[in-house]
Amino acid sequence: MYQSMNLSVSSNFTQRSLSEPRLRNRPLHLKPPRVSPGPESDLSGAKTLTENLISLLRSVPDWADEIKERGMQQKRTLYTHEKWVEHRSSLRHVHHLFSSFSSRVILSLIPPVFFFTSVAIVIASYNSAVALDWLPSFFPILRSSSLPYQLTAPALALLLVFRTEASYSRYEEGRKAWVGIIAGTDDLARQVICSVDGSGDELVIKDLLLRYVAAFPVALKCHVTYGSDVARDLRSLIEADDLSLILESKHRPRCVIEFISQSLQLLKLDDTKRDLLESKMLHLHEGIGVCEQLMGIPIPLAYTRLTSRFLVFWHLTLPIILWDECHWIVVPATFISAASLFCIEEVGVLIEEPFPMLALDELCALVHSNIQEAVKSESIIRNRIVAKIRLHEVNHSSNGRHRS
């Protein structure tokens, strides 16, 4: 009996196992047991939430800064007659108005203007809620006299004017420095073309020397502007072995000047011509000094920080000052004030670094084209002058009378 029972049980198990193969092969998924969140998990969750909130709040300023930096790296162009006509056009105001939303200055002002306008909305909503008795009576209305603002408004205006004027003086100094650099480079190239007249090694050194002269403003431009690719810009001017040495140098403009100096020493010139050519490089050294001074020494930081703090405190308290007179109009008033004053301050900050505002790429290309044109026209002009001298000698006799 016991044996028959075992057989029946085993047969039932075998039949059930064969009839349900899917259940036998199905993987087993076990859920982890639920554990009540402890203090460490609460802290990690709060930390993650805070990080997400901070990243969300920083997304708009980061976007505005990206647009501004992209505009700073945009290449400027020299003005032509057609651009000056467009610049003086009577429709320029309409064009400037419709291009406002593509202006990097205006787009970079979105974070501060949006913030102060939001503060004005919050203060206006709070004061309206207190006036309508939606809040307990011990909540005061945020209001104040406008007399302090009337007294300090001229100080803020002068502060912004002086800040913008100081930035423009730096821009003007940078522009004058580059005018001297371009003029000194053209003059040095002209002297090399006129002074070196030989064959063989002299022509090879002359060609290399002119290449180094044309490469100097390019190297200096890459030295003072952010995001420049010096290898790409110099590839068409300098040979590969010289370019590798320049790229390894810590100060690339001075390395190019060293190439120029060594090339001048190898030329077979008298001391007077060599000293004259060496003296022409003084403008290049002065240009390096001015550019590095403008790059390394900004407007005193105390002045910049004072202007920024003054503007922030002014617009944080502006809705409180204007509430009695404007009520909900404080919102558009704060928007207009923040957009206007912060725009003036932003322009001053942008032109404080003058070199991205200048058309340095086109100026360097202009130097290169001027040197190439001077080399091509050198022999033509010299031959024409020699021909005119010979024609004059043929047409005039030795006693000064014209030959019949």
Least confident range from 46-60, 280-294, 349-363: namely 46-60
Place 70 in a pLDDT band, splitting at 50, 70 and 90.
confident
Q: What is the predicted pLDDT for the residue at 66?
A: 78
Evaluate if residue 217 carries a pLDDT over 60.
yes
Q: What is the predicted pLDDT for the residue at 50?
A: 73
Evaluate if residue 65 carries a pLDDT over 90.
no
Q: What is the predicted pLDDT for the residue at 110?
A: 87
372 closest CA partner among 237, 220, 198, 230: 237
Give the tens place of pLDDT for each residue, 88-101.
999 888 988 888 87
Q: What is the predicted pLDDT for the residue at 17?
A: 39
* Helix axis angle, 110-131 to 39-72, nearest 10°: 130
Give the tens place of pLDDT for each residue, 181-195.
999 999 999 988 888
- Residue holding tokens 């306008």? 117
Check the CA dihedral 115-301-159-162 and report its sign: negative
Determine the distance from the C-alpha atom of residue 305 to the mean position of all C-alpha atoms in its chain, rounded to a whole number: 21
Domain ranges of the chain: 172-297+357-395
Q: What is the predicted pLDDT for the residue at 169?
A: 95
For every residue of 120-187, which 3-state class applies, written as one string?
HHHHHHHHHHHHCCCCCCCCCCCCCCCHHHHHHHHHHHHHHHHHHHHHHHHHHHHHHHHHHHHHHHHH
According to DSSP, the residues that pair with 396 across neighbouring strands are: 402
Where is pLDDT greater, at 53 or 148? 148
Q: Once rounded to an integer, what is the mean pLDDT over residues 322-341?
A: 92
Q: Residue 357: is it exposed, middle or buried by C-beta count within 10 angstroms (0-12/13-18/19+)?
A: middle
3-state secondary structure of 274: helix
The mean pLDDT of the chain is 83
Q: What is the predicted pLDDT for the residue at 174?
A: 94
Q: What is the predicted pLDDT for the residue at 20?
A: 40
Q: What is the predicted pLDDT for the residue at 397?
A: 55
Place 4 in a pLDDT band, splitting at 50, 70 and 90.
very low
Where is pLDDT greater, at 108 or 26? 108
Q: What is the predicted pLDDT for the residue at 59?
A: 75
Evaluate if residue 386 carries a pLDDT over 90.
no
73 closest CA partner among 112, 106, 104: 104
Evaluate if residue 82 carries a pLDDT over 70.
yes
206 closest CA partner among 289, 157, 145, 267: 267
Q: What is the predicted pLDDT for the residue at 11?
A: 38
Q: In the numeric block, which tokens belong to residue 96?
A: 């400037």
Q: Once rounded to an integer, what is the mean pLDDT over residues 234-255?
A: 92
Give the tens place of pLDDT for each residue, 152-174.
889 999 999 999 999 999 999 99
Name the percent of the chain lying above pLDDT 70: 85
**DSSP result, 313-350:** HHHHHHHHHHHHHHGGGHHHHHHHHHHHHHHHHHHHHH
Calpha distance 369→360 (Å, rounded) = 14
Evaluate if residue 114 carries a pLDDT over 50.
yes
Calpha distance 111→342 (Å, rounded) = 11
208 closest CA partner among 162, 250, 267, 161: 267
Give the tens place of pLDDT for each residue, 297-311.
999 999 999 999 999
Give the tens place of pLDDT for each residue, 256-274.
999 999 998 888 888 888 8
Q: What is the predicted pLDDT for the residue at 117?
A: 95
Supply the Cα-derived Rg of the chain in whole angstroms. Answer: 38
Place 22 in a pLDDT band, splitting at 50, 70 and 90.
very low
C-alpha distances in Å from residue 226, one per residue of 64, 110, 220, 221, 358:
18, 24, 12, 9, 13
Give pTM, 2 decimals: 0.77
Contact 294, 354 (CB under 8 A): yes
